[in-house]
Structure 1
Amino acid sequence: MTSATRMGVLALLWGSGFLWIKISLNEGLTPGWITLVRCALGAAVLLVLACAAGQRLPRDRATWGRLGVAAFFCNALPFLLFSVGEQTVDSGVAGVLNATTPLWSLLIGLALGTERPLRAGRAAGLGLGFAGVLVIFAPWSHGSGLTSWGALALLGASASYAVAFAYMARRLAGRGTAPLALSAAQLLAATGLSTPALATGGAGAVTWEGLLAVAVLGVLATGLTFHLNYRMIAEEGPTAAATVGYLLPVVSVGLGALVLGEPLTARVVAGMAVVLVGVGLTRPRRRPGPAGRARTNGPARSGPGLPGPTGSGSAGSRGCRADQAAPDRRDTP
């Protein structure tokens, strides 16, 4: 499989997470159940992969405590907020708003002092990125703007990812001797933390289509995409994985329009373009040395700047990767 094909497959699986959330909601599942099942199935996939790789779950309480915090901000909370938000917002718009995570990460880094003072280019990118969000929301447009609790929940999910990345960079970075097992443990913790979310929303008549959609969301768009992203970073380096991140909102918007018939408005497309340009400008420019130009021979410590719904992978997804914590990283919603 060529690099371009691999990136396309990963972007399609990762970016489809917003579509599966929307279908699950339309077919009777509540946000709480979607969150719980997604975490549980993603954990199951990663546990199988970890066992196949001979990796064991962590045993010390300190690591599990850190993983619990990461699981809340990187999985349980954003997964729930994405599902809540998509009750009133199109899946394509959800994917675009997810792309704002690097902007929130930069703001948090500035507040914590982990980011150097911004130069003109990155400052302009930060302002441009949030200007794109404003274009999408269009609060000045009465009756056609997106300002709602659902849209704010989606922004909250993206900000939660950013909080998780900042925490993981400080508390979990460098513990990646068993990355599959660590991420499986994180999603196991997220499964437990998601249980109270079952109280959110009223129960509906769940269809087989809804069950299939949430199964695909957990197995493919969360568990499998993590593994594919891990392989891409290990074999082709973080730059290739970061490129996939920029494709996610394009995939989510395209699938929403093709599969669900969501309106592809000029305002949303323009806002998406402005957000992505702004995110691109905020990425730090580094001159790679000889080691930086070489292909990565093992797991990298940084991942895509635009997490997906598993992030991640998602991590994003993409549940977030415990061994890839970095402020500019996804996973999958």
Structure 2
Amino acid sequence: MTSATRMGVLALLWGSGFLWIKISLQQGLTPGWITFVRCLLGAAVLLALAYGAGQRLPRDRTTWRRLAVAAFFCNALPFLLFSVGEQTVDSGVAGVLNATTPLWALLIGLGTGTDRPLHPARLGGLVLGFAGVLLIFAPWSAGSGLMSLGALALLGASASYAVAFAYMARRLTGRGTAPLALSAAQLLTATGLSVPALAAGGSAGVTWAGVLAVVVLGVFATGLTFHLNYRMIAEEGPTSAATVGYLLPVVSVALGALVLDEPLSARVVTGMAVVLVGVALTRWTAGVAAAGGGAAGQGAAPVPEAADAVPQGRGTEARGTEARGTERPAREVSAPAAAEETGAPR
């Protein structure tokens, strides 16, 4: 499989997650059940892959306590919020709003003082990114239908990712646990944390199409995509993997329009482009700094040679260990690192 083909497959599988959430909702599943099954099946895939690679789950209590925090903010909460948000917002728009995670991470880094001084280009990217979100919402237009609690839930999910990635970079990554095992343990913990959400309404009238959609969401768009992304980072480097992150909103918008006949207005498309350009500005300048030996910037993971991330070693660096289970020697990248590179949900 060529690099371009692998990138296309990964972008399609990962970007389709918003489509499967929407179909699951339309076919009778509640946000709570979607979250629970997604975590459960994703964990099962990663547990099988970790077992096959000879990786063991962590055994110390400290790691599991930290996993509980990471699992809540990086999986259980955002997965639930995305499902809640897509009850009223199109799947394509959900994919675009997910791309704001690096912007939230930059704000968190600035607010906590963990990020370096803001370069003018990065400030421009931050302002431009949120201007794109404002353009998508169009609060000045009474008939836009996007300025809703559902849209705020989607933004909350993206911000939750940013909080999680900052925490994981400091407390979880680069501490000796193999990446597949660490990610499997995190999704396993998220499965337990998502159980209370099952009480929020039943899933009466669920169709086989809904069951199939949530299975694809959990197995392919959650579990398998992490593994493919991890392999891409380990074998081809973070630059190739980061490129996938810019394709996810495009995939979600295209699938929403083609499969679900979601309206594709010029305003939403323009807003998507503005958001992606803003994110690119914040990440591009960070990449230049990393290449020059500086600290990793917000919104982008440090390159493997420099450190171990979002989504996200935002504002921090953690050394990776040598990769295991790859076809050739490469740096090992943890679950948070894999997500950081794309800024996408895991």
**TM-score, scaled to structure 1:** 0.89
Partner of 2:77: 77
Q: Indicate if the aligned counterparts of 1:129 and 1:278 stay in contact, CA closer than 8 A.
A: yes
**Paired position in structure 2 for 1:203:** 203
Which residue in 2 is equivalent to 1:311? Answer: none
Residue identity in the other structure for 1:324 = A
- After superposition, residues 206-221 of structure 1 pair within 5 angstroms as 206-221=206-221
Residue deviations 1:181-200 (CA, integer Å, cap 9, x gap): 11000000000000011122
Q: Which runs of 5+ in 2 are unaligned?
A: 294-302, 313-332
How far does the alpha carbon of each residue in 1:144-189 deviate from its partner, in whole angstroms, 9 at most, with x for none?
A: 2410000000000000000001101110121254110110000000
Is 1:332 matched up with 2:335?
A: no
Measured against aligned partners, the alpha-carbon deviations of 1:24-79 in whole angstroms (never above 9, x if no partner) come to 00000000000000000000000000000001110000000000100000000000
Give the partner amino acid of 2:81.
Answer: L
The 5-angstrom pairing of residues 100-179 of structure 1 reads 100-179=100-179
- Equivalent position of 2:317 in the other structure: none
> Any idea what the Cα deviations from partners look like across 1:261-317, whole Å, max 9, x if unmatched?
000110110000000000011111236369xxxxx9999724777xxxxxxxxxxxx
**One-letter code aligned to 2:337:** Q
Select which of 286, 289, 294 maps to 2:289: 286
The answer to whether the aligner puts 1:301 opposite 2:314 as a matched pair is no
Q: Which residue of 1 is the match for residue 91 of structure 2?
A: 91
Residue identity opposite 1:3 in structure 2: S
Residues 172 and 328 (structure 1 numbering): CA distance in 2 closer, same or farther, change over 3 Å?
same
Cα distance in 2 between the residues matched to 1:73 and 1:256: 26
Partner of 1:312: none
Instruction: Please report how far the alpha carbon of residue 331 of structure 1 lies from its aligned counterpart in structure 2 after TM superposition.
Output: 3.9
> Is 1:184 aligned with 2:146?
no
Distance 1:265 1:28, change over 3 A: same
Per the normalisation by structure 2, the TM-score is: 0.86
Quickly say closer, same or farther: Cα 1:122–1:54, change in 2 above 3 A. Answer: same
CA RMSD of aligned residues (A): 2.2
Structure 1 residues 303, 70: closer, same or farther in 2, change over 3 A?
closer
The corresponding residue for 1:242 is 242
What's the CA shift for 1:115?
0.7
Paired with 1:40 and 1:60, the residues of 2 have a C-alpha distance of: 22
Aligned residue identity for 2:289: R
Q: Is the Cα–Cα contact under 8 Å of residues 92 and 249 in structure 1 kept in the other structure?
A: yes
**In 1, Cα distance between equivalents of 2:116 and 2:290:** 17
Taking the TM superposition and a 5 Å limit, the aligned residue runs for 1:17-28 are 17-28=17-28
Q: Give secondary structure in 1 for the equivalent of 2:144.
A: coil
Equivalents in 1 of 2:343, 2:276: separation in Å? 15
- Once the two structures are overlaid, the 10-residue window that deviates more, 142-151 or 199-208, is 199-208
Q: How many residues align?
A: 314
Q: CA-to-partner distance for each residue in 1:77-114, whole Å, 9 max, x for gaps? A: 00000000000000000000000000000000001111
Q: 2 CA distance for matches of 1:224 and 1:327?
A: 17
Q: Which runs of 5+ in 1 are unaligned?
A: 291-295, 306-319
Change in Cα spacing, 1:297 to 1:140, as seen in structure 2 (3 Å) is closer
1:108-127: CA deviation from partner (whole Å, max 9, x where unpaired): 00011111121211101000
Q: Partners in 1 of 2:176 and 2:337 — Cα distance?
A: 8
Classify 1:195/1:24 alpha carbon distance in 2 versus 1 (closer, same or farther; 3 Å). Answer: same
Contact 1:135–1:271, Cα closer than 8 Å, also in 2: yes
Structure 2 CA distance for aligned equivalents of residues 153 and 323 of structure 1 = 22
The alpha-carbon distance between structure 1 residues 32 and 221, as it changes in their structure 2 partners (threshold 3 A), is same
Change in CA separation of 1:110 and 1:329 when aligned onto 2, cut-off 3 Å: farther
Q: Which amino acid aligns with 1:124?
A: G
> What's the secondary structure of 2:194's corresponding residue?
helix
User: In the alignment, which residue of structure 1 is the partner of 2:296?
Assistant: none
Q: Give the whole-Å Cα distance in 1 for the aligned partners of 2:164 and 2:153.
A: 16
| Separation in 1, partners of 2:201, 2:118 | 42
Q: Shift of residue 255 of structure 1?
A: 0.2
Greater displacement, 320-329 / 274-283: 320-329
The 1:244/1:299 distance shift into structure 2, 3 A limit, reads: farther
**Whole-angstrom CA distance in 2 between matches of 1:115 and 1:299:** 16
Counterpart secondary structure, 2:28 = coil
In structure 2, distance between residues paired with 1:287 and 1:167: 21
